[in-house]
Each structure stands twice: as structure tokens, then as C-alpha cells.
């Protein structure tokens, strides 16, 4: 059994209340460990540790911060297999995905911000005619809170922590209670590389208690949050009267728009991934697929054919394409959407759970393609966040643009066309923070990342993250 503890001031601690939560393995539905059900007192202790570390850490040279972040990155890489196996067990994702995407990206997050902080600069303005010069300091905020979801556990956790500490802040962080294991391992690595005690503190527990204590803490001055839209709205409401800086990366319902003039094979192969990678549990998955009518029937046949071949299996098997859904609760939510699909639409493939011999209580669902006739249905309007996509044909660019935007979310969109002008026109008008043309999930960590509408507020990535985790102070000197 894996017993996860809080990491506070460089040491591992049981929760003060001695209350524990069960940690489930989605592949077999069994409890395989426990994690702290931390309360306000644990968060207070984490805050005190962070606050004590801040004066020294915020004055640590950029070279030294960069050196430590680089070492964290190297140690994650050196422990790739162990991290990947635990991520896969904790989350249900195929081991090859954890090995090639999640864990390498967690290492890249630290390496990227180790470099970025040495290149981050602030502005100065000469006030001509007024005999003055203004310069801006970018100062760390102090103690900041980082709260992350379960779908890309270490990947998203480190995407927040790395820029926060690179910029000189100290952190109270909470991973999802559903996937706490790799965040727990990170504590050991931080100690091994000599990250000063208290710079990073990891507190485990439920959103409604541990998370709530972080967002309500009057002296945690910024919250970087990734998770659901409803939670994001609650955090915004709580944090606003406390005047906290907020970055909210929330849900999505992304369109994948396919024109007849695209590179068909590349599109087809990528669309299988953008629909079902990580069991469709990526906020960037293209869950609404719109296909130009002239290739619709062909696409339908080929897409169903490819998706039917995806192998659903135990996440630790090397040849598994689709692992287990993350939790029983999420599994049941997905099955409810399948019921809606059965009643209201045509299911082209999938549409059922799978029992795997030896793992009968695991949360397995066949990748499911549903044909819909309108964008105005529950399946196209609500974020499902699982292995279900819808497909429907369109006739004109105006029509598909209208449908792409007719949803409350605005995270990302994918376009498949070789008509450059059309790609530029649509990219200009699609309401989303991220648009991929003829590719999907190609990430350059220097670029801004975030959504519009109910998909969030603010941007992560590159210098945007370093700007978020610093306060600008302008100094005006008259000469």
C-alpha cells in the first residue's frame, strides 16, 4: 500500500487530524493506498513554511534558481520509468503515454522555466521632455497557491510550480485527490537536489477542505488553478474579495473542423488521437468533429474503422491504446452520456463499458463515436471529458464557424485545410485561446496557453506565467 504524506518544510508529515482518504487504482477499482485528508491547520503549516522560506528564496540568484530547477528536471528524467508506472497506476492512462508525454513534459516544465527565468526582463521608459525615467521591477508575489486536476497529474502540477518558484515565490500546492501519487514523489526529488526547505510545500486532500483552505487563506496572494469551470467560478468568487491574483484554466468543448481539401491521412490519424488520447480526458481534445459534407461519408467509415481497432486494456500493458477512466464517479458520468447518446442519437461505434478479465472492477469504456444532427444538443454543449466524440457534416464555412462558436467554452480548436486564406480567416474568428491548423497539441512552451469564455481567465506559458507570478512595480525618477 502506498501511504502518501504531506510535504511541508522539506519533511513528510501525516495530516494533523490523522484523517485519511483512500486512493483507488482505476485499472482494477481496488484501493491501493491512502492520502492525507488535510485540513486548514495543515495548510496553515504549509503557509508558515513557505512564508519563512520566502525572504531567502526571493533573494536567491537567478543562476542558482535555474541550477536547482534544472536538477529537478534531470532527476525526473532519471526516474522516468518509476514516475511513468506510478502515474499510469494512479490515473489509468496507458503507460506508453505516461512515458512519452506526461513525465517527459513534467521534466521539460522545470527545464523550460530554469532557462526562461534567466531571460526574463522588465521594461524601462524614458519620459522624454519630462526629464524622467521609469523602470519596472518584476517582484515575486510571496506565497502562492497552485491547484491542479487529475487528467495530466504531474504535467499540470509542475506547469504551475516551475514558473512560480523560478520567479522567486514559495508555493503551497495541492494535486488532485484522485491522482496524488507522482506529486508525492516530487517531494523526494526536491530534497535530493537541495531545494531549500519550505520553497515548495505539497498538501494533499479534498478540494472542498484542503483546496478551500488554500483559496481562502488571506496571505496566499495568488492562485493558479486548473480544473473544472464550476470549481473555477467558485474560486473566483472566493478570491475576489481577498484581492488575489487569479489564473483559471478551465473546461473545454473544442471543435475539430475538417475541410475536404485537407491532407486526409494525416488528419485521420491525428483525429483519432485528438479524440481519444488519454481516454479523451485532455482539456484540448477535439470532442465536436465537423466534417465538410463532400467527404463526410468517407470520413465516417474510415474514422469508425480506425477507432474500432484501438485496443482498450490494462494501462500497464505496452500495447494498450485506451486505458481506464480515472475514477468510478467519472466512469458513471461517462456511462450517463452514453445513455443520452443511445436515446437521442446514433452511436457509430463503442457505446459500452468493457469488462477485462482479471480486472472486472476497472473503469473501462470503449471509445465511442456518436453521429449528431445539430450542434444544439447536450452531447455537443456539455463537457464530457471522456472517450466520446460527436461527428456531423457541414456545408459552408459560415455555418461551421457559427457552430464552432456556439458553445459556452472557448479553449482550443483544430482546423484541417490546405487553404491558407481560409485557415487564417477562421482562426481570426473562432472564439478560442489556442488554434491548431493541420496539427494538434503541438506545444511550444514559450507560447501563451489559456481559454476565453467559460474556459478561463488569464494565460499560462512562457513569460506570461512569469508575469502572472510576479508583481510589476514602476519606479519613476526625475533627473
State the catalytic residues: 249
**Using the rule CB under 6 A, which residue among 163, 252, 323, 362 binds ligand NAD?**
252
What is the nearest approach in angstroms of ligand NAD to the Cβ of residue 38?
A: 11
Please state the separation of Cα 58 from the chain's center in Å. Answer: 27
Site string for ligand NAD, 328-367 (x = CB under 6 A): ----------------------------------------
Task: Rank residues 292 and 454 by Cβ distance to ligand NAD and give the closer one.
Answer: 454
Residue 249 sits in the site that holds ligand NAD (CB under 6 A): yes
Interface residue with ligand NAD, options 212, 224, 368, 375 (CB under 6 A): 212
Q: At what angle do helices 62-78 and 103-119 cross, to 10 degrees?
A: 170
Stretch of 11-19, 26-34, 209-217, 315-323 lying at the interface with ligand NAD (CB under 6 A): 209-217
Closer residue to ligand NAD (CB): 289 or 295? 289
379 close to 390: Cβ distance less than 8 angstroms: yes
Query: How far is residue 469's CA from residue 157's CA, in Å, rounded to a whole number?
Result: 15
Are 192 and 142 in contact by the 8 Å Cβ rule? The answer is: no
CA R_g for the chain: 23
Are 387 and 276 in contact by the 8 Å Cβ rule? The answer is yes
| C-alpha 212, offset from chain centre | 19
- Please give the residue whose beta carbon sits closest to ligand NAD in the complex: 207
Residues 6 or more apart whose CB falls under 8 angstroms from that of 69 comprise: 110, 111, 113, 114, 117, 162, 165, 166
Q: Is 250 in the site for ligand NAD (CB under 6 A)?
A: yes
- The stretch near ligand NAD (CB under 6 A) out of 26-34, 94-102, 222-230, 349-357 is 222-230
User: Which residue is listed with cell 465516417?
Assistant: 300
> Could you tell me the smallest distance in angstroms from the CB atom of residue 87 to ligand NAD?
15
Q: Does 434 bind ligand NAD (CB under 6 A)?
A: no
Please tell me the count of residues contacting ligand NAD according to CB under 6 A: 31
Part of the chain binding ligand NAD (CB under 6 A), chosen from 89-97, 120-128, 210-218, 239-247: 210-218
- From the list 22-30, 228-236, 263-271, 361-369, the region that binds ligand NAD by CB under 6 A is 228-236
Q: What is the dihedral of CA 26, 31, 155, 413, to 10 degrees?
A: 30
- Listed residue (53, 4, 59) closest to 31, CA to CA: 4
Pick the stretch among 25-33, 118-126, 243-251, 342-350 that binds ligand NAD (CB under 6 A).
Answer: 243-251
Selected binder of ligand NAD within 147, 388, 401, 404 (CB under 6 A):
147
- The set of residues, in sequence order, having a beta carbon less than 8 Å from that of 122 and lying 6+ positions away, is 135, 136, 137, 138, 472
Is the CB of 33 or the CB of 456 nearer to ligand NAD?
456
22/28 Cα distance (integer angstroms): 14
Binding mask 11-50 for ligand NAD (x = CB under 6 A): ----------------------------------------
3-state secondary structure of 152: coil
Retrieve residue 80's grid coordinates: 522516468
The single residue among 11, 119, 126, 208 that binds ligand NAD, judged by CB under 6 A, is 208
The Cα–Cα gap between 211 and 348 comes to: 40
**Closer CB to ligand NAD, residue 380 or residue 417?**
380
SS3 110: helix
End-to-end CA separation in angstroms for the chain: 67
Q: Is 211 in the site for ligand NAD (CB under 6 A)?
A: yes
Q: Between 147 and 262, name the residue whose CB sits nearer to ligand NAD.
A: 147
Total number of residues shown for the chain: 479
Closer of 226 and 417 to ligand NAD (Cβ): 226
Q: Which is nearer to ligand NAD, 148 or 417 (CB)?
A: 148
Our finding on whether 273 is near ligand NAD (CB under 6 A) is: no
CB nearer ligand NAD, residue 193 or residue 441:
441
Decide: helix, strand or coil at residue 412: strand
CA–centroid distance for 37 within its chain: 23
Name residue, grid cell 491525428.
270
**Which of 226, 256, 278, 368 touches ligand NAD (CB under 6 A)?**
226
Residues forming the site for ligand NAD (CB under 6 A): 147-151, 156, 174, 176-177, 207-208, 211-212, 215, 226-228, 231, 234-235, 249-252, 283, 383, 385, 411, 451, 455-456
Amino acid at each position: 500500500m502506498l501511504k502518501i504524506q504531506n510535504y511541508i518544510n522539506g519533511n513528510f508529515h501525516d495530516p494533523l487530524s490523522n484523517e485519511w482518504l483512500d486512493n483507488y487504482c482505476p485499472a482494477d477499482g481496488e484501493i491501493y493506498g491512502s492520502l492525507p485528508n488535510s485540513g486548514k491547520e495543515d495548510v496553515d503549516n504549509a503557509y508558515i513554511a513557505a512564508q519563512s522560506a520566502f525572504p531567502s528564496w526571493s533573494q536567491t540568484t537567478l543562476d542558482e534558481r535555474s541550477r536547482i530547477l534544472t536538477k529537478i528536471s534531470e532527476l525526473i528524467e532519471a526516474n522516468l520509468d518509476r514516475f511513468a508506472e506510478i502515474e499510469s497506476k494512479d490515473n489509468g492512462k496507458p503507460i506508453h503515454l505516461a512515458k512519452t508525454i506526461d513525465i517527459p513534459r513534467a521534466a521539460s516544465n522545470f527545464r523550460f522555466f530554469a532557462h526562461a527565468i534567466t531571460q526574463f526582463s522588465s521594461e524601462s521608459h524614458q519620459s522624454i521632455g519630462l526629464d524622467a525615467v521609469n523602470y519596472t521591477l518584476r517582484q515575486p508575489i510571496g506565497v502562492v497557491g497552485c491547484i491542479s486536476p487529475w487528467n495530466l497529474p504531474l504535467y499540470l502540477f509542475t506547469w504551475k510550480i516551475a514558473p512560480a518558484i523560478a520567479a522567486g515565490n514559495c508555493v503551497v500546492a495541492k494535486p488532485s485527490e484522485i491522482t496524488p501519487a507522482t506529486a508525492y514523489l516530487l517531494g523526494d526529488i526536491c530534497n535530493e537536489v537541495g531545494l531549500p526547505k519550505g520553497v515548495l510545500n505539497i498538501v494533499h486532500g479534498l478540494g472542498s477542505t484542503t483546496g478551500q483552505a488554500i483559496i481562502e487563506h488571506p496571505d496566499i496572494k495568488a492562485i493558479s488553478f486548473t480544473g473544472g469551470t464550476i470549481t473555477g467560478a467558485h474560486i473566483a468568487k472566493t478570491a475576489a474579495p481577498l484581492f488575489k491574483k487569479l489564473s483559471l484554466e478551465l473546461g473545454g468543448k473544442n471543435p475539430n473542423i475538417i475541410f475536404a481539401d485537407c491532407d486526409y491521412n494525416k488528419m485521420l490519424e491525428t483525429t483519432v488521437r485528438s479524440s481519444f488520447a488519454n481516454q479523451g480526458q485532455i482539456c484540448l481534445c477535439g470532442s465536436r468533429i465537423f466534417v465538410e459534407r463532400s467527404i463526410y461519408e468517407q470520413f465516417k467509415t474510415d474514422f469508425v474503422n480506425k477507432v474500432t481497432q484501438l485496443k482498450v486494456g490494462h494501462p500497464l500493458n505496452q500495447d494498450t491504446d485506451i486505458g481506464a477512466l480515472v475514477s468510478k464517479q467519472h466512469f458513471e458520468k461517462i456511462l450517463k452520456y452514453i445513455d443520452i447518446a443511445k436515446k437521442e442519437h446514433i452511436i457509430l461505434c463503442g457505446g459500452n463499458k468493457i469488462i477485462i478479465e482479471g480486472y472486472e472492477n476497472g473503469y473501462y469504456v470503449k471509445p465511442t463515436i456518436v453521429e449528431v444532427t445539430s450542434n444544439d444538443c447536450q452531447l455537443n454543449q456539455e463537457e464530457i471529458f471522456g472517450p466520446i466524440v460527436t461527428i456531423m457534416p457541414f456545408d459552408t464555412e459560415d455555418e461551421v464557424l457559427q457552430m464552432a462558436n456556439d458553445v459556452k467554452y472557448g479553449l482550443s480548436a483544430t482546423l484541417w485545410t490546405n487553404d491558407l486564406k481560409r485557415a487564417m480567416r477562421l482562426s481570426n474568428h473562432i472564439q478560442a485561446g489556442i488554434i491548431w491548423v493541420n496539427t494538434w497539441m503541438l506545444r511550444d512552451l514559450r507560447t501563451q496557453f489559456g481559454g476565453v469564455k467559460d474556459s478561463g481567465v488569464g494565460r499560462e506559458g512562457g513569460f506570461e506565467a512569469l508575469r502572472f507570478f510576479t508583481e510589476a512595480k514602476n519606479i519613476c525618477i526625475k533627473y
